A and B are shown apart, each in its own frame.
Chain A
Amino acid sequence: EAQVTQNPRYLITVTGKKLTVTCSQNMNHEYMSWYRQDPGLGLRQIYYSMNVEVTDKGDVPEGYKVSRKEKRNFPLILESPSPNQTSLYFCASTSGLGQDTQYFGPGTRLTVL
């Protein structure tokens, strides 16, 4: 089954404690991205990757890091989380340019205390 998986689905942590949210897709997609979703703001792109070792900033990259060492995986790293990073995070992947469907993971709800 074609899918994007994220782990963990829920995470409660404290300010400053480094964390990683994993994302993996089994569709051999080149393009992957991370979004955060906040009420009233819709989805905002954090980072994206157009292929292995190619990453770039989205609209709200501050406080986040990513890496793309393998095509299937695109982890999101919060080196020093802060309460304003409390949000719902989605990973997505697509095979083509703007016209292709994006496939979303189930989301990770992060709370930073």
Chain B
Amino acid sequence: AQSVTQPDIHITVSEGASLELRCNYSYGATPYLFWYVQSPGQGLQLLLKYFSGDTLVQGIKGFEAEFKRSQSSFNLRKPSVHWSDAAEYFCAVGARSNYQLIWGAGTKLIIKP
């Protein structure tokens, strides 16, 4: 079955600390992978996406993600978080042949001052 797992419902990190949000997927076709962010009271905004090529992709707001095919993972990282990064983060997977995305349940990031 196709699925996306974000194992951490909540993560709390101190401002200035590094961050890694985990995403694992199960998908039959070659996956296209996405991270979206949802700030409080807002819609979702694309952070970054991976289709092919370099497995380390850079996104907006200083985020990056690494695609590891052998581990079926696409973890999101940031070297130093800011209070404005407090939000919910969603991983999603899709395919070249269709429009539909499969979404993870989300990880809520809490920033400690």
Contacts and interface: CB of A to CB of B under 8 A. Distances in A.
Interface of A: 4, 31, 33, 40-45, 48, 50, 58, 90, 92, 94, 97-99, 101-102, 104-107
A44, A58, A97, A101: residue with the most chain B Cβ atoms closer than 10 Å: A97
A48 to B, nearest CB: 7
Given A92-B44, A106-B43, 7 more contacts: A40-B105, A41-B105, A42-B106, A48-B99, A106-B41, A106-B42, A107-B43
Contacts of A33: 99-100
Please report whether the interface of chain A is mostly helix, strand, loop or mixed according to DSSP.
strand
Given A40-B105, A41-B105, A42-B104, A94 B99 contact: yes
Contacts of B96: 97-99
B45 A104 contact: yes
A98 B44 contact: no
B105 A98 contact: no
Please report whether the interface of chain B is mostly helix, strand, loop or mixed according to DSSP.
loop
Contacts of A102: 44, 46, 101
Contact of A97 (B43, B46, B97): B97
B32 A99 contact: yes
20 contacts: A41-B105, A42-B90, A42-B105, A42-B106, A43-B92, A45-B100, A45-B101, A48-B99, A58-B100, A94-B99, A98-B94, A98-B95, A98-B98, A98-B100, A98-B101, A99-B51, A102-B101, A104-B43, A106-B43, A107-B42
